[in-house]
Amino acid sequence: MSLNVSAISSLFSSDSQADKVVPPTGFTATLTLFSAAAMSFLAVFALALSLATGRLAERWGAELARTSTIRISAPEGQLLAQTEAALRVLETTKGVLSARALTAEEQQALLEPWFGPDLPLEALPIPQLIEVIEEGDGFDAEGLRLRLSAEAPGAVVDDHTRWCRPLVRAATRLRMLGLFSILLIGLATAAMITLAANAALAANTQVISVLRLVGARDSYISSAFERRFTLRALSGAAVGVGLGCLAVFLLPSAQATGGFLTGLGFQGWHWLWPAIIPPLTALVAFAATRTAARRTLGNMR
Partner 1 sequence: MIELENVGYSYGGGELLSDISLKLQSGSFHFLTGPSGAGKTTMLKLCYGALIPTAGHVRLFEADVRDLERDDVAMVRRRVGVVHQDCQFLDHLTVADNIALPLMVSGGDLLAESANLKELTNWVGLTNRANAYPPELSGGERQRAALARAVIMSPDVILADEPTGNVDWEMSQRLLRLLVELNRMGKTIMIATHDLALIRAAKAHVQARVLRISNRRLQLAGADL
Cβ(40)–Cβ(236) under 8 Å?
A: yes
Q: How many residues belong to the site for partner 1 (CB under 8 A)?
A: 19
Under the binding rule (CB under 8 A), the answer on residue 297 touching partner 1 is: yes
* Distance from chain centroid for Cα 131: 32
Under the binding rule (CB under 8 A), the answer on residue 57 touching partner 1 is: no
Under the binding rule (CB under 8 A), the answer on residue 202 touching partner 1 is: no
Stretch that binds partner 1, among 67-75, 83-91, 169-177, 210-218 (CB under 8 A): 210-218
Beta strands across the sheet bearing 67-72: 96-101, 128-134, 67-72, 155-158
Under the binding rule (CB under 8 A), the answer on residue 26 touching partner 1 is: no
Under the binding rule (CB under 8 A), the answer on residue 215 touching partner 1 is: yes
Phi-psi region of 55 (alpha: psi -120 to 50; beta: other; left: phi over 0): alpha
What is the rounded CA–CA span in Å between residue 48 and residue 247?
A: 11
| Cβ neighbours around 87 below 10 Å, total | 18
Q: How many Å is the Cα radius of gyration of the chain? A: 31
Exactly one of 8, 21, 156, 177 binds partner 1 (CB under 8 A); which one?
A: 21
Nearer to partner 1, 70 or 224 (CB): 224
Exactly one of 121, 133, 176, 213 binds partner 1 (CB under 8 A); which one?
A: 213
Under the binding rule (CB under 8 A), the answer on residue 11 touching partner 1 is: no
Stretch that binds partner 1, among 34-42, 98-106, 212-220, 245-253 (CB under 8 A): 212-220
Exactly one of 216, 243, 283, 287 binds partner 1 (CB under 8 A); which one?
A: 216
Nearer to partner 1, 92 or 299 (CB): 299
Query: How would you label 110-119 residue by residue, b for 16+ Cβ within 10 Å and e otherwise?
Result: eeeeeeeeee
Element (H, E) at 139: none
* Distance from chain centroid for Cα 76: 49
Nearer to partner 1, 160 or 212 (CB): 212
Chain residues in the site for partner 1 (CB under 8 A): 17-18, 20-21, 23, 207, 209-218, 220, 297, 301
